[in-house]
Structure 1
């Protein structure tokens, strides 16, 4: 299956990063969002990242311009009719995603693969909103997308071998390392990462140690490049809570119960770096 044109839905941090690596790999990219201002911000992120590469001597100016020329923008979902592959990178909410995939199923050509960048939600359930469940797959990129090598590829119950092999080949063309996992809550990355973050929050909640102490112990003692509470702030505490709730609901096991302090911070609007305050305060 040939993939030439890729549509990325959502121009936020993840979506703009996915669009950037697709354009850098030579694909024609349509970057879509519901408002022009969101798209402008996304294009600005791509330009900023590429300018940094030029400054470091890793990219020439002409290469940067060629990459940017491969990205077109869209506020009309009907533009999915031009895509061979659609990668969705919208909010981590099942209702939002299923509604989107239902619409994409109408607009995208019959041969098009529909991929979700979900970090925890079941691909089989997302696929069930379409008339092409065999062509729906998970492509979970890591943040920041231009830097992180992993793409977690998640097969839904009906995903065909041909679709998996096509997405595996696309991931390699993006200079990523594709790793296959089956469709379980949180897949592998967040099934392991989020309970660790949640336990770190419990340690603070129970007064065992300060956030600074927890992070320092995990960095110096476990050789983690970033402490779990700093990482939680970077991911977004609302996202961490949503994933923990998905794990708790999906497995029905109280070991995945979200820490009350995490809920409290989210209700207070302390979502981490993006709001200026989480476990740490940001300028």
Structure 2
């Protein structure tokens, strides 16, 4: 059994099945048909054969697998979402405009899109949920969702899927 969860502990799922040693995470990134990375997540319950087979599957479908122990956010989301959250903080406190922050991160870091465009692509509701999970797991203020993110979600501005988030589409 493999799950594509992006933040929930895989071990919690493994605990409720008959063979917890056969449960792992295979976390694809959106859009999965374009992005090559897959996190192969190993909960403490997983057997070596389960992880070997998961990694083999990932390789067979032409993806680049990275191995990570089971923890909230795994590798990518644990690093990405504090960055996104801090971009919102910078905009809230007037450091720079959304457009300038997006332009700076694209041009200065060679990112394909800036943090606000990425938040809109991921979905503000999804991003809020991920940040809430990470904050509950780690308790660090970098994971505490910014008020502006909560406000936009409450207004139904969820990003590209609703044609409005930080930007209008």
Q: Is TM-score (shorter-chain normalized) higher than 0.5?
A: yes
The answer to whether residue 77 in structure 2 is matched with residue 190 in structure 1 is yes
Q: Please, which of 167, 174, 181 is the counterpart of residue 68 of structure 2?
A: 181
Measure, in 1, the Cα distance between the counterparts of 2:107 and 2:67.
31
Which portions of structure 1, spanning 4 or more consecutive aligned residues, are displaced by more than 3 angstroms?
Answer: none
Report the equivalent of 2:47: 160
The answer to whether residue 138 in structure 2 is matched with residue 266 in structure 1 is no
The answer to whether residue 126 in structure 2 is matched with residue 242 in structure 1 is no
RMSD over aligned Cα atoms: 0.8
Given that residues 85 and 142 in structure 2 are in contact (C-alpha distance below 8 angstroms), is that contact kept between their aligned partners in structure 1? no
Which fold has the larger relative contact order, with Cα–Cα distance below 8 Å and residues 6 or more apart in sequence?
Answer: 2
Provide the TM-score with structure 1 as the length reference: 0.59
Deviation for aligned residue 1:147: 1.2
The answer to whether residue 98 in structure 2 is matched with residue 211 in structure 1 is yes
Residues paired across the two proteins, number: 169
Which is greater in Rg? 1
Provide the TM-score with structure 2 as the length reference: 0.97
Which consecutive unaligned segments of at least 5 residues does structure 1 have?
Answer: 1-113
Deviation for aligned residue 1:141: 0.4
1:26-37 matches, cutoff 5 A = none
Report the equivalent of 1:233: 120
Deviates more, 1:192-201 or 1:246-255: 246-255
Measure, in 2, the Cα distance between the counterparts of 1:134 and 1:191.
25
Deviation for aligned residue 1:129: 2.1
Report the equivalent of 1:150: 37
Q: Please, which of 118, 122, 125 is the counterpart of residue 5 of structure 2?
A: 118
The answer to whether residue 21 in structure 2 is matched with residue 130 in structure 1 is no
- Could you say what secondary structure the match of 1:151 adopts? strand
Deviation for aligned residue 1:254: 2.0
Q: Spell out, residue by residue over 1:129-162, the C-alpha distance to the aligned partner (whole angstroms, 9 max, x if none).
A: 2122111110000111111111101011110000
Deviation for aligned residue 1:205: 1.2
